[in-house]
């Protein structure tokens, strides 16, 4: 491969299905954002006389943003950091991509150096102590601190990094991948889910990786045991077990393309403050376990409301395609703060679903102590309403 190859993946916002998305029973709606993570794979390089692969991942947007790893088939493709700088997400991507493709050193003796540049749009990180530059139609921020020291905005930077790096690294083993991404999208998604969970040290719901791989989707998670049952990286059976999981195992997952209705835009803002998701999730879990069967009833009501919300958005999108005055009706309804829209009841369906979702989360907030929608947020919402 003698040319640069560029790939990108979108950020995410979980619009419906919060907390429930952790359970395999429930679906969620994840929106792919315009903010994107980018990777540029360089042409093959050569390390003469070396019996190892070398992967160099660079991110010029951060201080000390370069990570070097040596990988050898003799040691089970376990990445060895060179120079002391480590990144668990990069490391797990390298381990899984190499373990899956199992490259033979003899086939790559004159092309065993892989160089990949990583870029992230400025929305992924706080803009403090940074300089913003325009590269084409993208805005990139260059920070004076190391990547782990720069606050993130919660748009899925680690999932985006893992997914786009998996794709770029796979392009060294799959010819013309940049023109056949759809053919390999499921493989990229599955490898990315494995690497992301391993790097985090826990098996999350995976909606962020799924959105990075597929964009805006209706999503139901995979069973955690799929990944937790894998042997240790570098073990004699890891490569074969990983390949079976990626290529043959039924993930029992739902990934359906779904998007916001045409004419509607989701805006995200950095308020330089956020919740600690892990602590909130634990509080909600403790509440759920200790308040059965009432908690199950609330979850069921939430799930039904989430489904009505997602179905309503799909109906609104179809209306946009068939009714010329659809957008005017929506905006007039919003400006009047109408609770109903006589001509298009689908608007009312979405409003009612959101009201039910918020009511359920306020109840969970009160009973669990997890600030999902605390009173101060409700009060602010009432002030902000037109």
| Predicted pLDDT at 298 | 97
DSSP string, 170-210: HTTTSTTGGG-HHHHHHHHHHHHHHHHHHHHTS----HHHH
Is residue 14 scored above 70 in pLDDT? yes
Which positions ≥6 away from 113 have C-beta within 8 Å? 44, 45, 46, 47, 53, 54, 56
Average pLDDT on 58-87 reads 91
| Predicted pLDDT at 170 | 97
CA 256, 124, 16: angle at the middle one, nearest 5? 35
| Predicted pLDDT at 272 | 66
| Predicted pLDDT at 338 | 60
| Predicted pLDDT at 335 | 66
| Predicted pLDDT at 221 | 98
DSSP string, 69-88: EEE-GGGTT--EEESS---H
Handedness of CA 93, 6, 156, 357 (dihedral sign): negative
Is residue 1 scored above 60 in pLDDT? no
Average pLDDT on 95-106 reads 95
The DSSP 8-state label assigned to residue 49 in this structure reads T
Poorest-pLDDT segment among 3-17, 146-160, 334-348 = 334-348
| Predicted pLDDT at 203 | 94
Residues 252, 211 contacting (CB under 8 angstroms)? no
| Predicted pLDDT at 223 | 98
Q: What is the pLDDT of residues 322-362, one digit of tens each?
A: 766 666 766 676 666 665 566 678 888 998 999 999 999 99
Domain ranges of the chain: 5-257, 277-384
Residues 111, 45 contacting (CB under 8 angstroms)? yes
**Which run of H or E residues covers position 382?**
helix 375-384
Name the nearest CA neighbour of 367 among 289, 273, 277. 289
Is residue 295 scored above 60 in pLDDT? yes
Q: Mean pLDDT over all residues of the chain? A: 90
Which positions ≥6 away from 168 have C-beta within 8 Å? 5, 7, 39, 40, 41, 116
Is residue 33 scored above 60 in pLDDT? yes
Average pLDDT on 258-266 reads 85
pLDDT bucket at 73, cuts 50 / 70 / 90: very high
| Predicted pLDDT at 356 | 97
Beta strands 53-58 and 113-120 are: parallel
Average pLDDT on 10-24 reads 96
| CATH for the stretch 5-257 | 3.30.230.10
Angstrom distance (rounded) from CA 175 to CA 306: 41
Poorest-pLDDT segment among 28-37, 101-110, 134-143, 211-220 = 134-143
CA-to-CA separations, 173 to 8, 91, 163, 170, in angstroms, rounded: 18, 18, 16, 5
Is residue 165 scored above 90 in pLDDT? yes
Question: Per the structure block, which two tokens stand in for 182?
Answer: 């759809």
Residues 112, 51 contacting (CB under 8 angstroms)? no
| Predicted pLDDT at 139 | 77
């Amino acid at each position: 491969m003698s040319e640069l190859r560029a790939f990108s993946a979108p950020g995410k916002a979980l619009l419906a299905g919060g907390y429930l998305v952790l359970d395999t029973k429930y679906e969620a709606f994840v929106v792919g954002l315009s903010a994107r993570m980018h990777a540029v794979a360089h042409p093959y390089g050569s390390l003469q006389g070396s019996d190892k692969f070398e992967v160099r991942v660079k991110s010029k947007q951060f201080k000390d943003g370069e990570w070097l790893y040596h990988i050898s088939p003799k040691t089970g493709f376990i990445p060895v950091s060179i120079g002391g700088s480590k990144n668990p997400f990069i490391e797990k991507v390298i381990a899984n991509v190499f373990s899956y493709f199992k490259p033979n050193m003899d086939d790559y003796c004159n092309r065993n150096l892989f160089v990949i540049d990583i870029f992230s749009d400025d929305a992924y990180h706080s803009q403090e102590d940074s300089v913003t530059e325009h590269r084409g139609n993208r805005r990139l921020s260059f920070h004076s601190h190391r990547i782990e020291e720069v606050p993130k905005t919660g748009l899925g930077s680690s999932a985006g990094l893992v997914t786009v790096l998996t794709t770029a690294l796979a392009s060294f083993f799959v010819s013309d991948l940049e023109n056949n991404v759809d053919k390999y999208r499921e493989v990229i998604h599955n490898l990315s889910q494995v690497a992301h969970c391993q790097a985090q040290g826990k098996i999350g719901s995976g909606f962020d990786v799924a959105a990075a791989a597929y964009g805006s989707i209706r999503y139901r998670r995979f069973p955690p045991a799929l990944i937790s049952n894998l042997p240790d990286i570098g073990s004699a059976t890891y490569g074969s077990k990983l390949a079976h999981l990626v290529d043959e195992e039924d993930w029992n997952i739902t990934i359906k393309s779904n998007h916001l209705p045409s004419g509607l835009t989701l805006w995200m803002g950095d308020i330089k403050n956020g919740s600690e998701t892990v602590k909130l999730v634990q509080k909600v879990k403790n509440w759920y376990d200790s308040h059965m069967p009432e908690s199950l009833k609330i979850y069921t009501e939430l799930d039904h409301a989430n489904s009505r919300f997602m179905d309503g958005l799909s109906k609104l999108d179809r209306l946009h395609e068939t009714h010329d005055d659809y957008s005017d009706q929506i905006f007039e309804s919003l400006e009047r703060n109408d609770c109903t829209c006589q001509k298009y009841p689908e608007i009312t369906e979405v409003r009612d679903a959101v009201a039910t979702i918020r009511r359920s989360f306020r109840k969970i907030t009160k009973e669990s102590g997890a600030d999902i929608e605390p009173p101060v947020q409700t009060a602010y919402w009432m002030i902000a309403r037109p």
